[in-house]
Chains A and B, each alone.
Chain A
Amino acid sequence: MDWTGVGISLLKAFLVFFGVVNTVPVLVWAERRGSAFIQHRLGPNRVNIGGFTLLGLVQPLADVVKFVWKEDYVPAHANRAFYVLAPVLLLVPAAMTFAVIPFADDIVVAGRQITMQVADLNIGILYVFALASLSVYGIVLAGWASNNKYSLLGGIRSSAQMISYELALGLSVVGILMIYGSVQLDDIVHGQGEHLFGFLPKWGVVTQPLAFILFLAAVFAESNRLPFDLPEAENELVVGYHTEYSAMKFAIFFMAEYMAMVTGAMLIVTLFFGGWQIPWVESAELQAAVGAIPAALLQLGSFSAKLLFFLWLFIWVRWTLPRFRYDQLMRLGWKMILPLALANVFVTGLVLYFT
């Protein structure tokens, strides 16, 4: 057995999971400070350790302490087993999705080729979609097990919404898969390293602009954020499916939501914005110029920069747009995004056939 390989895989899994989990509090901070910035406020800036507020970054720490120490209250009328299971069912798929996202090009260290993703699965994007569709169970179960009408409505809304938009999500990516000829994210990213007309990076957004817009909308819907946050809709459903949850169980819902947001942003970057590719810099040339590990770090930096932009976009949109109504959401999903995605697949097929 190749123990070194196992060790490297475990290390990668740990690092990626650690990184993503720690993105969540930072994202919460960015969300709160960002919204304050948009809304003419200051946001959290008081919590400090020995006088250091770190621009409010200590706040998430205080939040975590609060969540841990709060009473873990289970409503008596809830179905206890399902009630406890629901947040787990939501968190686990959200935490597993990152496994197939490539963060940098493969590198060769000491004669061993190391892929910069936790698992280079040959089903690639299908794995992501499979896991993403699992997360709906957590939400529906939470709404059902809470035994609260608002929660139930939230759960129903989210199941309908996620199922509708998963179709759009999947279909809008088909064009990308056709162009780059693979479902493996690694291959797709490699394919985006080429150039069109000699100067334009062959990113997914260039080759499939319509698919990008549809995918963006579908990702917003999948991550249950404004303008698609109907399952929560605090002004209509109190907070929807997690109304009855408190303490760490609530925190898990919260984390899962932010993780879903990170997944969404990562997918956008990987599929449409070249993933770890640095524009106009060939990966092989870069590795030859600065060495394998610095090149990987640079590519990780490129990936992170794009990722941060899209995370900020999520926040930005949330504090700008109002919320859809249920029927409007369905109409958008089924009558606009779905036909457009199908048309996109058709046109892409035609173009590929004739060129």
Chain B
Amino acid sequence: MVFKDAALTPEEMPKTTPVPEPHGRMPTGVSWEPLEAGSADPFGPRRMHVERHLVDDEGLQTDPLAEDLMVINIGPSHPAMHGTFRLKCWLDGETIVKAIPEIGYLHRCFEKMSELHPWQEVFPYTDRLNYMSPFLNNVGYAMAVEKLLGIEVPRRAQRIRVILGELSRVMDHFVCVGTNLVDLGALTNFWYLFRGREEIYSLLEHVSGARMMVAYGRIGGLMRDVHAGFEDEVRALLKSLPRYIDDVDKLITNNRIFIDRARGVHPISAADAIDWGWTGPCLRAAGVPYDVRKAHPYYEYDQFDWQIPIGTAGDVYDRYLVRMEEMRQSLSIVEQAIGDLPDGPVNVDDWTISPPPKDQVYNTIEGMVAHFKLTFEGVQVPAGEVYSYTEGGNGELGFYLVSEGGGHPYRIHCRAPCFAIYQNIGPSLEGCMLSDIVAIVGSLNVIAGELDR
């Protein structure tokens, strides 16, 4: 019947041979004929041979049944594909024989768009890279431009960047762990964690005016100083957030079903992880204690008392454990930072980089001219190129900037951590079961916005 509609080779599959619609409606201008002559059923048997999996080293066919593979498209719109990406899988029963990832469904020309805007107007686009922790992207980009400008932001701005950045990281891990557990069927954890995420959102909303796309970073500082009750709100968060983490910890960490589902699934060795360019929690789960905040400290990260959690096996369970511990470490950093939040300005005292205060803009000719030039011509960044990198939500978030001088970037490249992490997804899924896909993709924390940019 219909279900032999399995398989074509990757080469012949999608482009020229549309699957016929049963009414006989055809896309105009495309002719179609059944691949096997004599097959009356329009969905009739079509076979594929994935040679490398069906033959052993001596060229003998190992599994006579395995040629009846079933092709299944997971995504681009599928409940477990958080964001839009597609995995095309060849299944033998429920075991994946071959998987080909396809990305690009959420490509929005981030890099090209950035070239068409003044330096300071790129911030809203960076929000939409890893939209689970937008402020970390703001900081990453701002740091890169500041490096090219050769300026250092005031200490208060640094501290606020650390505080909000670490809270954003907690948010990122909340979403990652929460959705990963949802995909394994444990929905309740998702609600526990998302409640905490909403609380952080409320803080970000009070600070920046937006819950999700904060666009709060600025070249040379921040959009504005934090509001009066900021410190109290952060302290309240520090009280409430650990509870959500503990709740999930108690509910799921030692759950036998969860351990069975996650332990030993998709393990990766430290060497492999490095070879594939992995960074962030997934790399640390494989046992490599690399964290940009420790390895190349910025914003006084080396002065805080915190540790890098690392795993041993690099499997889904270790990634979960590493993320859980990182959230606690991040909260500890926030606690130390909020205890020592210096007074002072949050923007550099340079009107060619940070806009002058509004009363100056409206009441003095100098302020108005500075504001005009900044708005119309952009921040004047000297010619040169720079690579600057920070620890993003799921790994090393790098920005490579090229400037020819003037108000616009000549070229921006974003090193998205999950792009590197997602590279080997196809081969590494082979031999896993269908149910493992959702666990694996969830644990990698692949954010389509950042992957496709």
Output the least CB separation between B440 and chain A (Å).
12
Docked-complex contact B437 and A76, CB < 8 angstroms: no
Q: Hey, what's the 0/1 contact readout for B234-264 against A, CB within 8 Å counting as 1? A: 0000000000000000011001011011000
Output the least CB separation between A334 and chain B (Å).
16
Output the least CB separation between B1 and chain A (Å).
8
Q: How far is the CA of A325 from the CA of B265 in the complex (A)?
A: 12
Contacts of B187 on A, CB cut-off 8 Å? 35, 39, 319
Docked-complex contact B186 and A321, CB < 8 angstroms: yes
Interface residues of B in 165-209 (CB under 8 A from A): 181-188, 191-192, 195
Contacts of A149 on B, CB cut-off 8 Å? 3, 70, 72
Q: How far is the CA of A134 from the CA of B260 in the complex (A)?
A: 31
Given contacts A77-B2, A147-B2, A152-B3, contact A326 B435 (CB under 8 A): yes
Docked-complex contact B3 and A325, CB < 8 angstroms: no
Q: How far is the CA of A233 from the CA of B79 in the complex (A)?
A: 10
Docked-complex contact B78 and A319, CB < 8 angstroms: no
Contacts of B188 on A, CB cut-off 8 Å? 35, 38-39, 319-320
Given contacts A39-B192, A149-B3, A235-B79, contact A324 B257 (CB under 8 A): yes
Q: How far is the CA of A153 from the CA of B71 in the complex (A)?
A: 12
Contacts of B64 on A, CB cut-off 8 Å? none
Docked-complex contact B3 and A322, CB < 8 angstroms: no
Q: Hey, what's the 0/1 contact readout for A172-204 against B, CB within 8 Å counting as 1? A: 000000000000000000000000000000000
Output the least CB separation between B280 and chain A (Å).
23
Docked-complex contact A235 and B185, CB < 8 angstroms: yes
Nearest residue, chain A, Cβ from B252: A322
Secondary structure dominating the interface of A: loop
Q: Hey, what's the 0/1 contact readout for B415-453 against A, CB within 8 Å counting as 1? A: 000000000000000000111111000000000000000
Nearest residue, chain A, Cβ from B77: A238
Docked-complex contact B80 and A325, CB < 8 angstroms: no
Of A236, A319, A325, most buried by chain B (CB within 10 Å of CB) is A236
Q: Hey, what's the 0/1 contact readout for A56-84 against B, CB within 8 Å counting as 1? A: 00000000000000000000110000000
Q: How far is the CA of A244 from the CA of B72 in the complex (A)?
A: 16
Docked-complex contact B434 and A153, CB < 8 angstroms: yes
Residue in A147, A152, A238 whose beta carbon sits within 8 Å of that of B78 in the complex:
A238
Interface residues of A in 76-95 (CB under 8 A from B): 76-77
Docked-complex contact A325 and B261, CB < 8 angstroms: yes
Secondary structure dominating the interface of B: helix
Output the least CB separation between A147 and chain B (Å).
5
- A285 CB within 8 Å of chain B: no
Interface residues of B in 208-235 (CB under 8 A from A): none
Nearest residue, chain B, Cβ from A328: B260
Given contacts A77-B2, A149-B72, A236-B435, contact A322 B94 (CB under 8 A): no
Contacts of A144 on B, CB cut-off 8 Å? 1, 3
Q: How far is the CA of A234 from the CA of B80 in the complex (A)?
A: 8
Nearest residue, chain B, Cβ from A323: B185
Docked-complex contact B436 and A325, CB < 8 angstroms: yes
Q: How far is the CA of A88 from the CA of B407 in the complex (A)?
A: 69
Given contacts A236-B80, A323-B257, contact A226 B192 (CB under 8 A): no
Q: How far is the CA of A263 from the CA of B188 in the complex (A)?
A: 26
- B23 CB within 8 Å of chain A: yes
Number of residues on chain B facing chain A (CB within 8 A): 37
Docked-complex contact A41 and B258, CB < 8 angstroms: no
- B22 CB within 8 Å of chain A: yes
Nearest residue, chain A, Cβ from B439: A325
- A25 CB within 8 Å of chain B: no
Contacts of B192 on A, CB cut-off 8 Å? 39-40
- A229 CB within 8 Å of chain B: yes
Given contacts A153-B94, A235-B79, A328-B260, contact A322 B191 (CB under 8 A): no
Docked-complex contact A235 and B72, CB < 8 angstroms: no
- A2 CB within 8 Å of chain B: no
Contacts of A238 on B, CB cut-off 8 Å? 78-79
Q: How far is the CA of A322 from the CA of B262 in the complex (A)?
A: 11
What is the interface residue range for chain A against chain B?
Answer: 20 to 34
Contacts of B184 on A, CB cut-off 8 Å? 235, 322-323
Contacts of B79 on A, CB cut-off 8 Å? 234-235, 238
Q: Hey, what's the 0/1 contact readout for A309-329 against B, CB within 8 Å counting as 1? A: 000000000011111111110
Docked-complex contact A325 and B258, CB < 8 angstroms: no
Contacts of B22 on A, CB cut-off 8 Å? 76-77
Output the least CB separation between A132 and chain B (Å).
23
Q: How far is the CA of A328 from the CA of B257 in the complex (A)?
A: 9
- A227 CB within 8 Å of chain B: yes
Q: How far is the CA of A324 from the CA of B94 in the complex (A)?
A: 14
Q: Hey, what's the 0/1 contact readout for B1-41 against A, CB within 8 Å counting as 1? A: 11100000000000000000111000000000000000000
Output the least CB separation between B106 and chain A (Å).
20
Docked-complex contact A327 and B433, CB < 8 angstroms: yes
Contacts of A233 on B, CB cut-off 8 Å? 185, 435
Contacts of A147 on B, CB cut-off 8 Å? 2-3
Interface residues of B in 46-83 (CB under 8 A from A): 70, 72, 78-80
Output the least CB separation between A329 and chain B (Å).
10
Of B1, B72, B185, most buried by chain A (CB within 10 Å of CB) is B185
Output the least CB separation between A259 and chain B (Å).
22
Docked-complex contact B94 and A326, CB < 8 angstroms: yes
Q: How far is the CA of A169 from the CA of B236 in the complex (A)?
A: 51
Contacts of B257 on A, CB cut-off 8 Å? 227, 321-324, 328
Output the least CB separation between A298 and chain B (Å).
37
Nearest residue, chain A, Cβ from B244: A40
Contacts of B23 on A, CB cut-off 8 Å? 76
Docked-complex contact B186 and A236, CB < 8 angstroms: no
Docked-complex contact B255 and A326, CB < 8 angstroms: no
Output the least CB separation between A230 and chain B (Å).
8
Q: How far is the CA of A227 from the CA of B433 in the complex (A)?
A: 17
Contacts of B78 on A, CB cut-off 8 Å? 238
Docked-complex contact A325 and B70, CB < 8 angstroms: no
Of B1, B2, B43, B252, most buried by chain A (CB within 10 Å of CB) is B2
Contacts of A230 on B, CB cut-off 8 Å? 435
Output the least CB separation between A78 and chain B (Å).
9
Contacts of A235 on B, CB cut-off 8 Å? 79-80, 182-185, 438
Contacts of B185 on A, CB cut-off 8 Å? 226-227, 229, 233, 235, 321-323
Of B70, B78, B187, most buried by chain A (CB within 10 Å of CB) is B187
Nearest residue, chain A, Cβ from B436: A325
Q: How far is the CA of A327 from the CA of B437 in the complex (A)?
A: 14
Output the least CB separation between B243 and chain A (Å).
10
Docked-complex contact B191 and A39, CB < 8 angstroms: yes
Q: How far is the CA of A323 from the CA of B436 in the complex (A)?
A: 11
Output the least CB separation between B192 and chain A (Å).
7
Q: How far is the CA of A40 from the CA of B433 in the complex (A)?
A: 33
Output the least CB separation between A4 and chain B (Å).
51
Output the least CB separation between B25 and chain A (Å).
10
Q: How far is the CA of A229 from the CA of B261 in the complex (A)?
A: 15
17 extra A-B contacts, CB within 8 A, seeds A320-B186, A323-B261:
A39-B192, A40-B192, A77-B22, A77-B43, A153-B72, A227-B257, A229-B185, A233-B435, A234-B79, A235-B80, A236-B437, A319-B187, A321-B257, A322-B185, A322-B257, A326-B434, A328-B257
Interface CB pairs A-B, < 8 A, 8: A39-B192, A76-B23, A226-B185, A233-B435, A238-B78, A319-B187, A320-B188, A326-B435
